[in-house]
Amino acid sequence: PGYTITARPAEVGPAIADTMHGIFFEDINDAADGGLYAELVRNRSFEFTGTDRAGWNGLTGWTTTTQGRGSGTATTVDGSARLDERNRTYLELALTSPAGSAFGVRNAGYGDGIAVQKGKRYDFSVWARTDARNGTPLTLVLDDAAGKRYTSPQHLVVRGDGWVKYTGTFTATATTNAARLSVLGSGSGTLRLDMVSLFPRETFKNRPNGLRKDLAEKIAALNPGFLRFPGGCIVNTGSHEAYDAAAGYPRARSYQWKDTVGPVETRATNANFWGYNQSYGLGYFEYFQFAEDIGAEPVPVVPAMLTGCGQNQATDDPELLQRHVQDALDLIEFANGPVTSTWGRVRAQMGHPAPFGVRRIGVGNEENLPAEYAANFVTFRDAIEARYPDITVIANSGPDDSGAVFDAHWAAARANGAEVVDEHYYNSPAWFLQNNGRYDSYDRSGPQVFLGEYASLDSKLSNALAEAAFMTGLERNADVVTMSSYAPLLAHVDNAQWKPDMIWFDNDQSWGSTSYEVQKLFMNNVGDRVVPSTATGAVLQPQPIGGGIGLSTWATAASYDDVRVSAPDGTALFADDFSDGNATGWTPLAGTGTWSAAGGAYTQSDTAALNTLVKGPDVGTSDYDLTLKATKTA
Ligand code: AHR
C-alpha cells in the first residue's frame, strides 16, 4: 500500500523564513578549546584547577623538559606577580642550568598532540618576565616524543621583571599530529611565564585569535540561518553563586559574557559544566564575528539565574538578579550600540565598529522550576523591552518534549505573553517519525516555537532520515515554528560528553555525520512558502520496541490489520493480524523461533529477549533496532 500525495500549489501556505534552520554551538565535547577555537596549547594560562576536573592543577597539560644538563623547578603560582587580576596563576621556573643547557616545560595540546603541516606557519606568543639581570634566553621548538623536530628552534631573550609579550613564527618542516611545544629558559634566576600560545597562521577568514579552518568551513557550508550560543547547560551553571567582584570570580559560575571579551590575557577562565576548563578565548566578540562571517543571525542566550540541566536552584539574591539583567542590557549595547556607548566602544576597540545586529536573545536553558523561571524571565524581558523594544526575548520550556514541567512552562509563557518558546528534545528516530505532526495542532495565537535543540538518538543513516522527515513537519508549520537547530554541533573524539553530534573531529581531521548532511541539505534549500498538500491511502508506520512505545499502544488501535516485528535488515520476524483484538498470539515467521518467554503477550521487558534473539546478548534495551511495521487502512 502506498500514499497518494496531492499538492495544492494554488493555495498559499505559511512563509518560511531564511532563518528557519540554524545551528546551536555549545562548548561541550571540546567544541571550543581544542575544537573550533584554533589555539593549539592546552592550559596556556596555567589556570586549570581541581574544580574544572578532579585531579587537574595548574600544570595539567604540561610536563617539564630539559636540554643538555639543564635543571630547575616548575611551579604554578597564584601570586602578586600575576599578569592580570583575572588571569591569576602563572608559571614560575627557578632556573639552575649550566651554560649551554636549558630547563622548561612542554605542552602536547589537545588529544594526541599538536598537529602541524609541512610548509605551514604557526605563530607563537608568550608573556614573560625574569629577575636575571642580563635577561633569560628563551628557546621554543616543536618536536615529538621521539625527539624529531618539526620546526627549527626559535630564540629570544626575556628582559626585565615586568610582563612583556614576546612573539615569533615557526614554519613546519614536516607534517605530524603528535608534536609538542617546548619552552625552555637558560641560565639561572626566576623566569615567569603566562599565556603560552600557538596558533596556525591560517585560521577561518584569517582572523587573529581565530577559528580552526576545517571546522569553521564545515559549519559555514551548512549555510545556517542563525547561530544560537553559547549553550546549553553551560549557560546556567552555578548561576545561584554569590558573585563577589572583590574576590574576583567563583569557579563554576554561570556563563557571563563580560568574562569573555577584551584582550585574551585578561579573560578569566571558568569550570565548564561538562567537566573541563573554558579559556573563553572563543568569547562573545568571536562568536558574533563568526556569525557574521557565515551569514548567520547571532542569537545569544544569557543565564536566567536558575540552574537548569538536572539541578533545581534559583537565586534568592535580588541584587544578583539585577546585575545579570544589567549584563543582558549591556550585552545588547555591546552587540548593537553606537561606538560612543560604553559597550559599543569596547566592541569597536576589539575591531568591529559596526553593530552585529542582534534581534533575538534567549533567557535561560532547560530550567526545571517553571514558576521561578517565569518570574525571572518576565524581569529580564520587561527590562530588555523597555530599553530595546525591537528585541525579541525567548523563553524556554525546560528539558522535555512534554510532561508537567513542560506544560507549566508553556502555560506561564502564554500567560506572560512570551513571543517565542525554546523547546528541546532528544528522542528515538521512531519518535521523530511519529511526531511529524507535532506542531500541526499548536495554538497559532500563542507564542511561537524555537526548536533550539533536537536530535534522534543513535548515529545511523536511519537517524538522519527520521530527522529529515521531522524537519518537513517543522517547515509545514513555519507559521508557528520560527527556528530550529540540531544539537550538539561539534564533538572531539577523545572528549565527548554527549552523542550523537553533528560534526566530529580529532586534532587534524573532521567529518560530518549523516545528520550533518541532512542539515546541510535543508539549510541550503530553505523554501519560500509551504505548498499545502494532503496524503491519503494506507499508512505504513515504523515503530520502535522499547522507549515507551510498544505493542500495547498498537493493540488498542483496532484498525491495524497487519503488524510485524522486523529485524534491522527489514526481515519480518513476527506477525499479528489483530484478529483476536489484541497483541497476543504472535505468529513467528520462518527461522525466528518463539518471540517471548511470556508466550506472546508483549511486555516492555521482552525487548531484551527480542534484541538478544536478533543481535546477540550484548544489545541494550535502549537500542531501537527492532521495529514494528503496521499497516492500517487510513
Ligand atoms: O546539547 C547538549 C545539552 O543538551 C545541552 O547543553 C542542554 O541544553 C541539553 O540538555
Number of independent structural domains in the chain? 2
What's 83's domain CATH number?
A: 2.60.120.260
Residue 145 makes CB contacts below 8 A (sequence gap 6+) with 178, 180
Question: pLDDT per residue over 355-410, tens digit each?
Answer: 999 999 999 999 989 999 999 999 999 999 999 999 999 999 999 999 999 999 99
Task: Give the residue numbers spanning the domain of 615.
Answer: 538-632
CA of 232 to the centre of ligand 1 (A): 5
pTM of the model: 0.86
- The region of weakest confidence among 101-105, 244-248, 450-454 is 244-248
Mutate to test the pocket of ligand 1, among 23, 24, 26 (most ligand atoms within 8 A of CB): 26
Name the DSSP class of 545: S
Mutate to test the pocket of ligand 1, among 23, 396, 498 (most ligand atoms within 8 A of CB): 498
Residue 329 domain-assigned (yes or no): no
Which atom, in ligand 1's list, is nearest to the CA of 233?
6
Q: Mean pLDDT across the stretch 525-539?
A: 81
Residue 273 makes CB contacts below 8 A (sequence gap 6+) with 231, 232, 233, 234, 237, 252, 309
pLDDT at 193 over 60: yes
pLDDT of residue 111: 83
Percent of the chain with pLDDT over 90: 73
Q: Which is higher by pLDDT, 550 or 113?
A: 113
- Pick the catalytic residue from 47, 333, 366, 423: 366
pLDDT of residue 314: 79
Question: pLDDT per residue over 425-474, tens digit each?
Answer: 999 888 898 888 899 999 999 999 999 999 999 888 889 999 999 999 99
The helix or strand, by DSSP H or E, that contains position 62, with its residue range, turns out to be strand 62-67
In the residue annotation, 467 being an active-site residue is answered as no
Domain boundary among 178, 200, 222: 200
In angstroms and rounded to an integer, the radius of gyration of the C-alpha atoms of the chain is 28
The helix or strand, by DSSP H or E, that contains position 277, with its residue range, turns out to be strand 277-278
pLDDT of residue 4: 76
Question: pLDDT per residue over 539-576, tens digit each?
Answer: 444 444 433 333 434 333 344 455 555 554 555 655 65
Q: Whose CA is nearest to atom 8 of ligand 1?
A: 232
Residue 3 domain-assigned (yes or no): no
Mutate to test the pocket of ligand 1, among 30, 366, 489 (most ligand atoms within 8 A of CB): 366
Residue 213 domain-assigned (yes or no): no
Q: Do 187 and 130 contact (CB within 8 A), yes or no?
A: no
**Separation CA 449–CA 89 (nearest Å):** 44
First to last CA, the chain: 11
Which atom, in ligand 1's list, is nearest to the CA of 24?
1
Residue 142 domain-assigned (yes or no): yes
- The region of weakest confidence among 69-78, 159-168, 617-626 is 617-626
CA of 560 to the centre of ligand 1 (A): 37
CA of 277 to the centre of ligand 1 (A): 18
Residue 407 domain-assigned (yes or no): no
DSSP string, 401-431: SSSHHHHHHHHHHHHTT-SEEEEEEEE-HHH
> Could you report the predicted ipTM of this complex, rounded to two decimals?
0.98
pLDDT at 225 over 70: yes
pLDDT at 315 over 90: no
Residue 316 domain-assigned (yes or no): no
**Separation CA 59–CA 107 (nearest Å):** 10
> Which is nearest to 592 in space by CA: 619, 620, 612?
612
Domain boundary among 139, 171, 200: 200
CA of 3 to the centre of ligand 1 (A): 37
Domain boundary among 146, 177, 200: 200
Residue 355 domain-assigned (yes or no): no
Q: How far is CA 114 from CA 42, 216, 506, in A?
A: 10, 18, 11
- Give the model's confidence band at 165: pLDDT under 50 very low, under 70 low, under 90 confident, else very high: very high
- Give the model's confidence band at 252: pLDDT under 50 very low, under 70 low, under 90 confident, else very high: confident
Which is it for strands 539-544 and 533-537: parallel, antiparallel or unpaired? unpaired
pLDDT of residue 577: 57
Q: Whose CA is nearest to atom 2 of ligand 1?
A: 488
Mean pLDDT of the chain: 86
Q: Whose CA is nearest to atom 7 of ligand 1?
A: 232
Ligand 1 proximal residues by C-beta, below 6 Å: 26, 28, 231-233, 309, 365-366, 399, 424, 453, 487-488, 498
Residue 559 domain-assigned (yes or no): yes
Number of residues written out for the chain: 634
pLDDT of residue 618: 34
Q: How far is CA 83 from CA 77, 136, 189, 190, in A?
A: 11, 18, 19, 15
Q: Do 14 and 529 contact (CB within 8 A), yes or no?
A: yes
pLDDT of residue 593: 39
Q: Which is higher by pLDDT, 594 or 126?
A: 126
Q: Mean pLDDT across the stretch 22-39?
A: 98
